[in-house]
Structure 1
Amino acid sequence: MFTPRARTAGVIAALTVVTAACGAAPSSQQTSKATEGGTNAATAASAAAVGGFDKLVEAAKKEGNLHVIALPPDWANYGEIIKSFEAKYGIKIESETPDAASADEINAVKTRKGQDRAPDVLDLGQSFAISGAKEGLFAPYKVQAFDKIPEGQKEPTGLWTNDYGGYVSIGCDAKKIANCPTSYADLLKPEYKGKVAMNGNPTKSGSAFAGVYAAAIANGGSFDDIQPGIDFFKKLKDAGNYNPVETTPATIEKGETQISIDWDYNNAAYAPQMAAKGLDWKVNVPTDGKYFQMYAQAVNKDAPHPAAARLWQEYLYSAEGQNLYLKGFARPVLLPSMTSDGTIDKALAEKLPQVEGTPEFPTPEQVDAAKAKLAGGWDAAISG
């Protein structure tokens, strides 16, 4: 079953309690030694600094473990990515609290500092990656493919690097909906009464927040003005079309959320699962509201398994790792360069929902302002 990645604060308390109960176990980083011909993995800003990629692999295998949180196995194909990494390098991945949010990851880095159970690596919404870097929580690390990653998709020193992403999309059960919507404007049609849902509350859920941002773009707004998106959902509610039920695979299967606004890689991944249950789940990127967002990778500055953390990064940005994201319908950051050099899996790329044009991205300041505006206006718009 696919699990929407949580964007709530509840998991933070659980992680904090677990941390307190475990005590401060010594980190393996504290006793790690410099590899021959290189530096300590904990301070290495590249594989070359460890003595080369083979030395990095050797050091990571000696550590033997990698600790991650907030990586749902059905989100962007992380289940297969984790298994493939373990099989390739013989390193065990301890995956904790897969439904945790970016805020939970940041909290775990802070509260578990010096402990062996601290997360080695982080998969974060970009705003959290930027704020975490400002707080000095991450180690600079440039993967071997760093120069191929487009400008604007990475922090210059490698404190964080975007990895995969997707577009806001509209999923639709074509067995129950005669004409699946292809735009935000379509969603206001009377035929969709009580049917338009989202993957969560936009004040807590990243995908739902993106859905409102995309609605703003579709209705005369911009990265500087999310208000038209809030106004759109008020119109949707007033028309009787808005469905407050949060989308899950179970609600789709039961027919409770026949139309869902979500990331295209989530909606696209639902399609084969629902086909096995007799549903025909169609996916369209709205023609009038294209919004794209990427998630970022970072290495914990105090990672208990620093070599394994860096090897994990190398794997994710390798052609193998990037194609595994693609297999989960996520758009890898190296898609342009891999298309050029022929390392992209063309069959998988052809399965992505089709989108025209080049995506643009809001600045961190624009996102923060939009979140603040949404926090102050969403409940009134939907409950009024």
Structure 2
Amino acid sequence: MTVRISTAAVILTATIAGCGAPATENKQLPPVKPQAASLQEGFSTMENLVEAARREGSLTVVGLPRGWVNYGEIIDTFSEEYGIKVDQLEPDASSKQEIELAARLKPDVFDLSLEVAVANAAAFAPYRVQSWQDIPDEIKDHAGHWYAGYGGYMSIGYDPHRVAPPASYGDLLKPGYSVSLSGDPRQTASAFSGVMAASLGDGKTGSLGDGKAEARRGVEFFDRLRKAGNLAASERAASVVLDWDYHNAARAGWKVAIPGQSVLSSYYVQAISKNAPHPAAARLWQEFLFSDRGQNLFLKGYAHPARLEALQMRGTLDKELAAKLPATSAKPVMLTIPETDAAKTYLQREWNRKAG
């Protein structure tokens, strides 16, 4: 049977629908621009950014070990909060390897040492997080290509059941200490920094020279350790490890000493790939890392959040977590890029011959 609907019925239905719905102003929001250099420019609101990231559905990271500065919890929290899958590739890749693997793995974001980030800034998409002003000027690229997320101090980690607390780097030359770096200083950033920290000794000046002079003093110190029989055969066999404080503080049963008037500090920086397959998710990841919550999650991994001073001023710093950071009154000093380059050149030439 054919059912016929009269024109009058259609008109009546339309009239009723029109009367029942209040007139609304049709506000046209600006279009989302996932590759924009700021939240306001690209998404207008956090809600729009979250929605765009959820539509992409995933985020690809590389070189993020889950045990490094609490990255396991950071990744899981981000994924659960926003419903975005995080693909974790090559977690043990170094900063240099992250860049080398980028063409094949296509990561959305990077976590890099400062010198690697500076050398590869052209590969990153500029983006300024909402808390951009809280990041100290000296640890961010003013064009927004990279910006420090967290850092640490070079420290002496020691097993208190095997050795007495060292009051200086010089104490490590005494009988009974077995000292190791966290890798080969010609290949591993933290081991390189251990050599440079030892070069400061008890740090009376609070400043660095040209890089080469510090590298030479560091190599000479390890040569003295070797001659004293205090170099460990491996990190596992050592009673002392020179490493970043966030690594040493995480060693079960170990204690951390940061002696002297100056201490070598360094930051790891964040960046978004210019070719990020998930540009909205990449930007949401950065907003999360630099939020109060994200920065306190770094703190839970014993790292120093880049926004530490701002968190303190605004009362959003987790004081209980902050109290667990290794205590020190030393003044932090940082290597410049030229100093780092000069030091690495010296180590490549002299380490194996004198201290390896």
TM range (shorter): 0.7 to 0.9
Which aligned pairs between 1:1-384 and structure 2 lie closer than 5 A?
36-42=29-35, 44-50=36-42, 51-109=44-102, 111-112=103-104, 117-133=105-121, 136-177=122-163, 179-192=164-177, 195-218=178-201, 222-224=208-210, 225=213, 226-245=215-234, 247=235, 251=236, 256-270=237-251, 274=252, 280-287=253-260, 290-383=263-356
One-letter amino acid of the counterpart of residue 144, structure 1:
Q
Instruction: Provide the TM-score with structure 2 as the length reference.
Output: 0.87
- Taking the aligned partners of 2:200 and 2:227, their CA distance within structure 1 comes to 20
Structure 1 residue 36 displacement after superposition: 4.9
Q: Percent identity?
A: 44
AA matched with 2:186:
T
Question: Aligned AA for 1:227?
Answer: R
Equivalent residue number for residue 8 of structure 2: none
- Report deviation, 1:289: 5.7
CA contact (8 A) 1:140 1:159 kept: yes
Question: Structure 1 residues 219 and 319, CA, compared in 2 at 3 Å: closer, same or farther?
Answer: closer
- Supply the distance in 1 between the matched residues of 2:192 and 2:233 (Cα, whole angstroms): 14
The 4+ residue runs of structure 1 with deviation greater than 4 A are: none
Measure how far apart 1:176 and its partner are: 1.7
Q: 1:294 to 1:126 in 2, by over 3 A?
A: same
Asked if structure 2 preserves the Cα contact closer than 8 Å seen for 1:216 and 1:289, the reply is no
Runs of at least 5 residues in structure 2 that lack an aligned partner in the other structure: 1-27
| Residue 361 of structure 1: how far off its partner (Å) | 1.6
Give the TM-score normalised by structure 1: 0.81
Q: Give the superposition deviation at 1:38.
A: 4.0
1:365 shift after superposition: 1.2
Q: Is the 8 A contact 2:262 2:333 kept in 1?
A: no
Work out whether residues 338 and 344 of structure 1, in 8 Å CA contact, stay in contact via their aligned partners in 2: yes
Aligned mates of 1:186, 1:259 — CA distance in 2? 11
Q: Distance in 2 between matches of 1:214 and 1:340?
A: 30
Q: Show CA shifts across 1:97-116 (max 9, x none).
A: 1111111111122x23xxxx
Structure 1 stretches lacking a partner, 5+ long: 1-34, 275-279
Alpha-carbon distance, 1:180 to partner: 2.0
Aligned residues: 322
Residue 352 of structure 1 deviates from its aligned partner by 0.2
Give the direction of change, closer, same or farther, for the CA distance of 1:360–1:289 in structure 2 (3 Å limit): closer
Root-mean-square deviation (Å): 1.6
Q: Give the CA deviation at 1:191.
A: 2.8
Per-residue deviation at 1:122? Answer: 0.1
Q: CA shift at 1:282, angstroms?
A: 1.1
> In structure 1, how many angstroms separate the alpha carbons of the residues matched to 2:255 and 2:225?
21
Paired amino acid for 1:48: Q
Q: Which amino acid aligns with 1:239?
A: A
Shift of residue 239, structure 1, vs aligned partner: 1.1
Give yes or no for contact 1:217–1:223 (8 Å, CA) kept in 2.
Answer: no
The structural deviation recorded for 1:358 is 3.8
